[in-house]
Structure 1
Amino acid sequence: MRTTADRIRQALSFEILGLIIVTPLFAVLFKHPMSDMGVVVLVGATAATFWNYAYNLLFDKAMLRWRGDLRKTVPLRIVHAVLFEVILLLMLLPFFAWWLAIPILDALMMDIAFALFYMGYAFVFTWLYELIFPQAAPVTDKETDKAQHV
């Protein structure tokens, strides 16, 4: 499993790069001032950073428990990204509507656009991150026992 420092590096680099890309893009796309969209994106990124850490830790623990392995197949990467974004969407929807003073349906459409963007971004970012910073294979009880008897 990844160390806490590695998880923090992953979450922060993900969010900082995402902020740089999404703030100007969505300010233009949704015709809101950059300052308003910047607040929405910053609050969303802050919430997502904390959620990213917790979510990836829980997801890795679940993978180890159910599969005994941390490697993700393409379908598993898709499930990982979609589940993360759906939960985050539900957490951020009320804030989007309130801060931008827009109807909840408009906020939902904007939130879905953010989720779709970040879903694709998360898929690519995480894959590249794992290539650049590979994690060590977990040590199994069998390997530990074998090493102790040698």
Structure 2
Amino acid sequence: MSPVSRRVLQAVLYEAIAIAVVGPALGFAFDQPKASTFGLAVVLSTIALAWNYVFNWIFELWEARQAVPGRSFARRLAHGAGFEGGLVVILVPVMSLWLGISPAAAFVANLALLVFFFVYAIAFTWAFDRVFGLPASAAKNPGAADA
């Protein structure tokens, strides 16, 4: 699989699952109509999809220059923290405007999403790598499986 198609597939699968989970959770948490919170989940996921592509491209450029190949737990933690940290900065203003709440309240609301997505990002990328193999930037040998 080419690096571009791999990143696109990874991002689309990640966001499709996220919308299915986050849309109903937002409706419940904010006691708002499901159509509104589903719409918000789609907007948030669309933004996250673009960020996912850009972040993974940057991360793989960095990763390819590392002396030790592969994706250790520490590297996966760095990946999750970098992705989610950047996403919080982008999404807080969107949530604030959509829900009509202060940026501080949107930040607090985003913390629950941050916890969910931090764990989800690590688990998803591990599972994705197990199913589709490591990208060339992380493979010990081309096509090698990750531990």
Q: Smaller-chain TM-score range?
A: 0.7 to 0.9
1:2/1:135 contact within 8 Å kept = no
- Determine the structure 2 residue equivalent to 1:117: 116
- Determine the structure 2 residue equivalent to 1:83: 82
1:40 Cα deviation (Å)?
1.8
Q: Distance in 2 between matches of 1:122 and 1:56?
A: 12
1:116-135 map, 5 Å: 116-135=115-134
The structure 1 segments of at least 4 consecutive aligned residues displaced by more than 4 Å after TM superposition are none
| SS of match in other structure, 2:54 | helix
2:3/2:135 contact within 8 Å kept = no
Q: Distance in 2 between matches of 1:57 and 1:136?
A: 11
Q: Distance in 2 between matches of 1:137 and 1:33?
A: 44
* Runs of at least 5 residues in structure 2 that lack an aligned partner in the other structure: 138-147
Residues 115-135 of structure 1: per-residue CA shift (max 9 Å, x gap): 211111111110000000003
1:1-150 map, 5 Å: 2-67=2-67, 69=69, 71-135=70-134, 137=136
1:97/1:106 contact within 8 Å kept = yes
Q: 1:56 to 1:134 in 2, by over 3 A?
A: same
Q: Distance in 1 between matches of 2:3 and 2:125?
A: 16
| SS of match in other structure, 2:66 | helix
Q: TM-score, normalised by structure 2?
A: 0.85
Q: Percent identity?
A: 28
Q: Distance in 1 between matches of 2:135 and 2:53?
A: 19
1:27/1:37 contact within 8 Å kept = yes
| SS of match in other structure, 1:66 | coil
| SS of match in other structure, 1:102 | coil
Larger CA Rg, structure 1 vs 2: 1
Instruction: State which drifts further: 101-110 or 12-21.
Output: 101-110
1:77 Cα deviation (Å)?
0.6
* Runs of at least 5 residues in structure 1 that lack an aligned partner in the other structure: 139-150
1:95 Cα deviation (Å)?
1.1
Bigger RCO of structures 1 and 2 (CA < 8 A, at least 6 apart): 1
Q: Distance in 2 between matches of 1:124 and 1:136?
A: 17
1:2 Cα deviation (Å)?
5.0
1:98 Cα deviation (Å)?
0.7
| SS of match in other structure, 1:135 | coil
Q: Which amino acid aligns with 1:60?
A: E
1:17 Cα deviation (Å)?
0.8
Q: Distance in 2 between matches of 1:79 and 1:56?
A: 12
- Superposition RMSD in Å: 1.7
